[in-house]
Amino acid sequence: MKRRHLGTDHEYSAETLALGYGYDPRLSEGAVKPPIFLTSTFQFASALEGKRFFELAYGLRQANKGEIPGLIYSRLNNPNLQIFEERLAAWDKTDRGLTFASGMAAISTSLLALVKPGEHVLSTAPVYGGTHFLLEHILPGFGIGTTQVLAGSDAVERLRAAAAAVPAGKVAMLYLETPANPSNVLTDIAGVVALAAELEATTGRRPVVAVDNTFLGPVFQRPAEQGADLVLYSATKFIAGHSDLVAGVATGRAAIMEQVALFRTILGTQPNAFTGWLLLRSLETVSIRMHRQAKSARRLASVLLEHPRVTAVHYPGLLQEGDPQHAIYQRQCTGPGSLISFEVQGGEEAAYKVLDSFEVFRLAVSLGGTESLVEHPATMTHADVPPELLGSFGVSPGMIRMSIGLEHLSDLRRDLEHALSKLG
């Protein structure tokens, strides 16, 4: 199957491509589903073929028209990974995808490939705790400068001001997480892309616009359609969706992905074939799962909104017309997803009381699985961020993050109401 129907040139939908794109059953004894290619190495038909495969793998020459990189070694490429990468890139409307051993492997490999010592990364905040640690504590050790600004409706202006403080031409990347983890605050992707064009016009250097799309992608948000160059995921979350694997993905423009692919090859940050096979299994149902989860999340967000001891509910589905955040949501999202953050009166002590009272919701980190999860960002996923800094990012001691799963809505609602009743 190609991306377009051969007879009509009609572009297939992502849900259809997720079931057939990138795989020819004739190459695998007619198996309807791709087998698991549990092999470390692949046999060449000839010495010359091996030479040509390596030339492409190490960027020693450009591929000829219609030439497809051959299989060499599973650190470089593997059929299970390649099929998944092609399908997710088609979903994201990007040129190429790459799979990694974790979301942080995707993020760190991409940043190390695209940002050099002496250059600078400008990022919105808050971001996932691991990403924050990478920006604040790891990259500076490689001579890479980083600046974080508050995410939200004014983030473009904040990024512009931060860029003005960096030597001309040294801003190598504008990094966004939207919605932000765990505040659910949105940042205007197209606005940041426009800022990248401004910087190119004034400094001669266009920064790469990278977007962590874990919360809404690939179903409810496609950053590449807004002009983003690089789309990043913790595939552990919604894409895998069953809390049974750890993986990451990056998709993006061909020239950028070529650089990232080389670093992945040398750093060895790709997953194994079985993980690729599991990702293929999961991608087939990601749209169904995410739509069902979002439907339940909308209802539960309304329950939270009505509770007297809940002081704030952060969920894109509750945004009202006239709010600048609503305008961003309308431009770049097709659905609100199923992550809800809310704040309770009484700070950390009250939040713990609620967290310890759930029976259906599991008290665990991660998100996007079939089971519903709750956690305390300030002392769990974002524990490495100083409390005063977290507070400036809008993450309070009373904040709880919920990931809505596929349990029956009535059971989730009853469980939520029971946990909230412990607030008195």
- Sequence ranges of the domains in the chain: 79-283, 287-423
Q: Are 122 and 171 in contact (CB under 8 A)?
A: yes
Q: Are 222 and 93 in contact (CB under 8 A)?
A: yes
Reported as a single tens digit per residue, the pLDDT across 141-193 is: 999 999 999 999 999 999 999 999 999 999 999 999 999 999 999 999 999 99
Alpha-helical runs (H) found in 307-404? 324-332, 347-355, 387-392
Q: Are 206 and 228 in contact (CB under 8 A)?
A: no
- Per-residue DSSP letter, 407: S
pLDDT at 409: 97
pLDDT at 141: 97
The Cα 85–Cα 171 span in angstroms is 29
pLDDT at 352: 98
CATH for the stretch 79-283: 3.40.640.10
Closest to 21 measured CA to CA, from 91, 69, 68: 91
pLDDT at 66: 83
- Rounded to the nearest angstrom, the gap between the alpha carbon of residue 201 and the centroid of all alpha carbons in its chain is 29
Angle, to 10 degrees, between the axis of helix 324-332 and the axis of helix 189-203?
90
Q: Are 171 and 147 in contact (CB under 8 A)?
A: no
Q: Does domain 287-423 have CATH number 3.40.50.1980?
A: no
Residues of the chain short of pLDDT 50, as ranges, are none
- Angstrom CA distances, 188 to 75, 155, 157, 212, stand at 36, 8, 11, 13
Task: Give the global pTM.
Answer: 0.95
The two structure tokens encoding residue 167: 């030597």
pLDDT at 57: 85
pLDDT at 264: 97
- Angstrom CA distances, 174 to 31, 69, 181, 187, stand at 43, 31, 17, 12
Q: Are 211 and 176 in contact (CB under 8 A)?
A: yes
Reported as a single tens digit per residue, the pLDDT across 2-28 is: 888 888 888 899 999 999 999 999 989
The two structure tokens encoding residue 307: 């509770």
Strand, coil or helix: what is 422? helix
pLDDT at 213: 98
The Cα 146–Cα 212 span in angstroms is 17
- Per-residue DSSP letter, 40: S
Q: Are 127 and 212 in contact (CB under 8 A)?
A: yes
